[in-house]
Amino acid sequence: MIRINSHYTKLQASYLFSDIAKRVAAFQNAHPDKEIIRLGIGDVTMPLPDACIQAMHQAVDEMADPETFRGYGPEQGYDFLREAIAREDFQARGADINAHEIFISDGAKCDTGNIQELFARDITVAIPDPVYPVYLDTNVMAGRTGAFKNGRYEGIVYLDCTAENGFVPALPETPVDLIYLCFPNNPTGTTITRNELQVWVDYARENKALILYDAAYVAFIRDDSLPQSIYEIPGARDVAIEFRSFSKTAGFTGTRCAYTVVPTTCRAFDDKGQEHDLHSLWNRRHCTKFNGVSYPIQRAAEAVYSEEGKKQCRALSDYYLHNAALVIEKMTALGFACVGGKNSPYIWVSGNRGSWELFDLLLNEAGVVCTPGAGFGRCGEGYIRISAFNSYENVAKAMQRIEKALG
Ligand code: MLT
């Protein structure tokens, strides 16, 4: 008899963003003439930078010519892209990362979800609350948790991120092995300072733990004092894996390209206490389960690092940050406390009522979709997340409608 992985039965009914999409579709069915403005899921709306489009066109032409056609590429990604990333995203900022430590993939969601396969089932995992649901759900699927009770899974060490701690979690009170951190944060939009991040790196070194650092929103950092990579922090090379994505940096949500950095100095231990290097393990997994990102897409990603590409990507994130500033201004004027939105496309709004209640209110009365904070964890209750990924005109219209509904 075929049997399922019973850990899947512990999962909440559906993935947060699918759940929201269903509610929005139901509303749209009931009110077909109402125009909905989507400030929910963090999906970009602006087209790809011209430099990327040009590079992609050229690469497509190469694929049409027998002389320049390419079949399978290296699973880890082409050197032209890995070298550009190492030089521009790390070495230019003084971070000691080499091209061969970079693995190109089709998304940070997949990589942050898949990475946990490398680790034993009985390790202790620390996960922030609120959190991007992928980190948690993939550990549930792998059997690292007990049942879901009172809004939390048994067996997970939750790191509370609240207004009291500025949404930067304190070190766990009990020892942990694997730590998920995401800055600029999804969903709260908050950032971490060098000193705060150093505390985590020191903790990981002292406890032989590992940090999984999701920096998918790094392109939105405008405060130069903030670290862009965990590898800017001394000692991080030995205890941290970093995830990056071209989705939010260059509008690749539909195009798919990302990368994961696994330094060759990162170690983990087997049951006998013997050291293993995680770079080799991830390489083994990657080559077994993945056949690489397509050549035209990797050429498009490489163009992000050209002089034109850099300017065009900066203009994209500036555009969304301009939207975010408007959201902060208008929501603050309506009496809501907001964080994020300054070095991030997300604004975390204290809703003065239940998250889903405010979600429904904004949908029904204003035709605006946000994301209920409670969907990201128990500490998200009472908040909503507003995404700045839309046109300025739509964001302005959404704010007017919210003012009218709530003002
Ligand atoms: C979000 O809305 O949190 C993001 O779109 C999630 C993602 O990038 O997968």
Task: Note the pLDDT tens digit of each residue in 235-279.
Answer: 999 999 999 999 999 999 999 999 999 999 999 999 999 999 999
**Å from CA of 93 to ligand 1 middle:** 27
Q: Identify the CATH assignment for 6-47+308-406 out of 3.90.1150.10, 3.40.50.460, 3.40.50.300, 3.40.50.980.
A: 3.90.1150.10
Q: Average model confidence (pLDDT) for the chain?
A: 97
Nearest alpha carbon, ligand 1 atom 9 = 109
For residue 12, name the pLDDT band (cuts at 50, 70, 90): confident
Enter the tokens of residue 370. 């946000």
Bridge partner list, 160: 129
Task: Note the pLDDT tens digit of each residue in 46-92.
Answer: 999 999 999 999 999 999 999 999 999 999 999 999 999 999 999 99
Q: What is the CA radius of gyration of the chain?
A: 21
Strands 275-277 and 267-269: antiparallel
Task: Note the pLDDT tens digit of each residue in 356-380.
Answer: 999 999 999 999 999 999 999 999 9
Sorted by where each begins, the domain ranges of the chain are: 6-47+308-406, 53-306
> Which pLDDT value is given to residue 18?
85
Q: Calculate the CA 65 to chain-centre distance.
A: 37
**Å from CA of 42 to ligand 1 middle:** 5
Tell me the C-alpha distance between 42 and 180, whole Å: 20
Q: Given a cut of 90, is residue 290 above it in pLDDT?
A: yes
Quickly tell me which residue has 């060490």 as its tokens.
Answer: 157
Atom of ligand 1 nearest to the CA of 43: 5
Nearest alpha carbon, ligand 1 atom 5 = 42
Q: Which amino acid is at 312?
A: Q
Tell me the C-alpha distance between 119 and 267, whole Å: 11
Instruction: Tell me the whole-structure pTM to 2 decimals.
Output: 0.97
CATH class of domain segment(s) 53-306: alpha beta
Atom of ligand 1 nearest to the CA of 17: 2
Length of the chain: 407
**Å from CA of 41 to ligand 1 middle:** 6
Alpha-helical runs (H) found in 180-294: 194-207, 246-250, 278-289
Enter the tokens of residue 66. 């027998």
Nearest alpha carbon, ligand 1 atom 1 = 42
Percent of the chain with pLDDT over 70: 100
> Which pLDDT value is given to residue 16?
83
- Ligand 1 pocket by Cβ (under 6 Å): 41-43, 109, 132, 186
Q: Given a cut of 80, is residue 153 above it in pLDDT?
A: yes
For residue 392, name the pLDDT band (cuts at 50, 70, 90): very high
**Å from CA of 81 to ligand 1 middle:** 24
> Which pLDDT value is given to residue 275?
96
Tell me the C-alpha distance between 138 and 127, whole Å: 12
**Å from CA of 18 to ligand 1 middle:** 11
Percent of the chain with pLDDT over 90: 96
Tell me the C-alpha distance between 173 and 365, whole Å: 43
Atom of ligand 1 nearest to the CA of 245: 8
- Output DSSP code: residue 31: -
